[in-house]
A and B are shown apart, each in its own frame.
Chain A
């Protein structure tokens, strides 16, 4: 391969991309959009909106629980509503997902429940539809006053069941309970690489990495289509057929490189990053993997029209198979076909970096073989 010719072609390709204003606008737009999302995601929000109401706002336990929920750092958005009827109207209008109505004698209700009378209604819950998120929210509701239930269970048991000579005082009972009480969470969250697991940037910015990964994959596919378009116009007529795929690979990597740089900047703006060397390594591996993947698509489908039709399906399947918004169990052999899987899993698991390297070697071999077969077919057909 003539290195000088190759280099000149890449420079020309680079210039052609930057001559298109829409491409430059697109490059600037991505980080700006991510930054906007980051700013907005710092506002209060939640996966479901719950309206909290009290039958009597003078009830101490009900007030304490409502205050605790309003101040908690939760995935649910709580809002206090003075009027229960108004809250129910909001629920009917679709302005909230649930209404929780706390009783006027909450401590009495809890004492009753703690004694084993489980037929009582602790809090009246109104919902539109019983979804998984709302079931989880009811668990959070129970957890918000479960300590009061456990304390009443203990007090009731000590007073009623254990025989004693002297009078038991509330202070004494509280002292024993508080001695064993743990305020911190039972769990510490870690990633596989030993780093602390935290909900950096919140759940709104969590899918940003996946979406940017799809953009890079698409840049690879678009790059290969650009090459195909040029080829169909006769731009690369003078290139030897055997070297064509190398030119295609390197030119498509230019658009991917540019989108990759923009994606890295966007990731830092979103706040969802690991260490810089790790990010660079992951990105470099992902760009090569995507370039080989899209290059293979081009060899297999061999037409701009077919590539265009196949692309939305590839994007949709990648959405489902790789953990962009959610992850599904199983179908590992199919998932492994998509380079996005290695990139997204590699963020906190070094093993996937190694699998990614194996993927690249395998994809390179398949590319060479596929190219040989296609070129042989072309030569045979004259």
Chain B
């Protein structure tokens, strides 16, 4: 019985080993190509004077309007966090720049804008974009609403002050002090960052954003890796499995042997990728920022720590994902269903499990549903390892999910064999 399992395992392993050199060669080539594109992109940006700047086009004349106050206020934000600049352009230039994605939006200032504002008319500026485009577009509209409040309130105060002084006939006093009032308003607006300066408390349960996205990208990639081995899975022959079953290689043995071989192959690919990441991190001095255990402060991971903290500790999560992928291959029939099933599972589970957006983005009902997601357990577990307090509860959950997926795979195989 034991011999049957081992010989089946060896046969399966040979199937993977046969294709593995090619898989490794192509993976290395692809990682190299993506790395080169990413490196040249980052280098081009760091060499540029306008690094990481999102430009917003302005069509029309801003001179003499108080729009400049709101715009300067936004530009005055910490450049390392917010990177927005405004650039005057013609409408044709703005349309072209928007069309090719050089600018996310542009603003059209009408010719008689200033006169209309002074005469108390309710005038509006046109902001032209390409749909909300997800979170980016929504942030732009939120920012525009903030600018709108700054400009509207500043203008209202200035025009009210001017009208008051004019009506009281003290035009000289108004003329001599108007600039000072304008300066007071501008100074107060620019000082808002210090007036609302946050008190930062490094806490145990939260991750740094970079640590969060490292987990998210890693798990998404591990999920998509399932597609890579579709050619191996779709070539399985049910008739051969039936013969093996009659010879004592039962469905659970077949599943276990196939799963272990698949897991080994996935681990080879993951090792390559983590290896490439480690080499890149030391070559280009890219480091990962995490919360340290004590004291609560941000610390940076070295290459060796990346391997220990990510590669070794995340293996249970990789194992669980491999079991989920294996189950999908077992349930789906044919290459189209298998590939689409793998992708749909990766994208849908990834989305609700907070791989793309943090869980706080989602409404409570979705967070409740996501709590039962295996990828959410994997995400929580991986994040906990990066916070230096490995979460045993999530580790147990991951192992349980893996067992359930393999049990379901055995059931599916049994049904297939009895057909």
Contacts and interface: CB of A to CB of B under 8 A. Distances in A.
Interface of A: 16-17, 20-23, 26, 29-30, 33, 37, 40-41, 43-49, 74-75, 77, 88, 91-94, 96-98, 113-114, 116, 118-136, 138-143, 146-147, 149-151, 153-154, 157-158, 161-164, 173, 176-177, 179-182, 184-192, 197-200, 203-204, 206-207, 210-211, 214-215, 218-219, 221-223, 225-226, 229, 255, 259, 304-313, 315-317, 323-327, 329-332, 334-335, 345, 347-349, 351-352
B341 interface: yes
A311 B228 contact: yes
B101 A187 contact: no
Nearest to B127: A187
B114 interface: no
Given A23-B334, A128-B201, A187-B125, A153 B141 contact: no
Nearest to B73: A139
Contacts of A197: 127, 129, 131-132, 137
A286 B185 CA distance: 52
B54 interface: yes
Given A131-B209, A190-B127, A214 B343 contact: yes
Contact of B127 (A161, A189, A225): A189
B344 interface: yes
A41 B363 CA distance: 7
B148 A185 contact: yes
Interface in B133-164: 133-139, 141-157, 159-161, 163-164
Contact of B131 (A23, A129, A347): A347
Interface of B: 19, 22-23, 26-27, 30, 34, 37, 41, 44-45, 54, 77-78, 81-82, 95, 98-102, 104, 107, 120, 122, 124-139, 141-157, 159-161, 163-165, 167-168, 170, 173-174, 177, 180-181, 184-185, 187-188, 191-206, 208-209, 220-221, 224-225, 227-232, 234, 331-341, 343-344, 347-348, 351, 356-357, 360-366, 369
A135 B77 contact: yes
B295 to A, nearest CB: 15
Given A306-B22, A309-B23, A129 B206 contact: yes
A118 B191 contact: yes
A207 B134 contact: yes
B366 A206 contact: no
Given A92-B204, A136-B139, A214-B343, A163 B173 contact: yes
Given A125-B198, A154-B157, A255-B336, 15 more contacts: A17-B334, A44-B363, A128-B200, A150-B185, A173-B164, A180-B156, A186-B152, A187-B127, A188-B125, A211-B347, A218-B340, A304-B231, A305-B22, A305-B231, A335-B101
Contacts of A129: 200, 202, 206, 208-209
B129 A189 contact: yes
Given A186-B152, A331-B41, A199 B124 contact: no
Contacts of A118: 187-188, 191, 194-195
A188 B128 CA distance: 8
A91 B160 CA distance: 42
A48 B360 contact: yes
A142 B180 CA distance: 23
23 contacts: A22-B333, A136-B143, A146-B153, A150-B156, A184-B122, A185-B145, A187-B148, A188-B124, A191-B130, A192-B128, A197-B127, A206-B135, A207-B351, A210-B134, A222-B339, A222-B340, A259-B340, A305-B232, A311-B227, A312-B224, A323-B134, A331-B41, A334-B37
Majority DSSP secondary structure for residues of A touching B: helix
Contact of A134 (B198, B204, B362): B198
A41 B351 CA distance: 13
Nearest to A219: B340
A123 B120 CA distance: 33
Contacts of B209: 129, 131
Contact of A312 (B127, B225, B335): B225
Given A125-B199, A215-B340, A308-B228, A97 B360 contact: yes
A338 to B, nearest CB: 13
A229 B339 CA distance: 13
A149 B153 contact: yes
| Residue among A164, A186, A313 with max Cβ neighbours from chain B (10 Å) | A186
A184 B123 CA distance: 9
A130 B155 CA distance: 31
A3 B72 CA distance: 66
A345 B101 contact: yes
Nearest to A190: B128
Contacts of B160: 154, 176-177, 179-180
A116 B199 contact: no
A45 B153 contact: no
B22 to A, nearest CB: 6
B101 A327 contact: yes
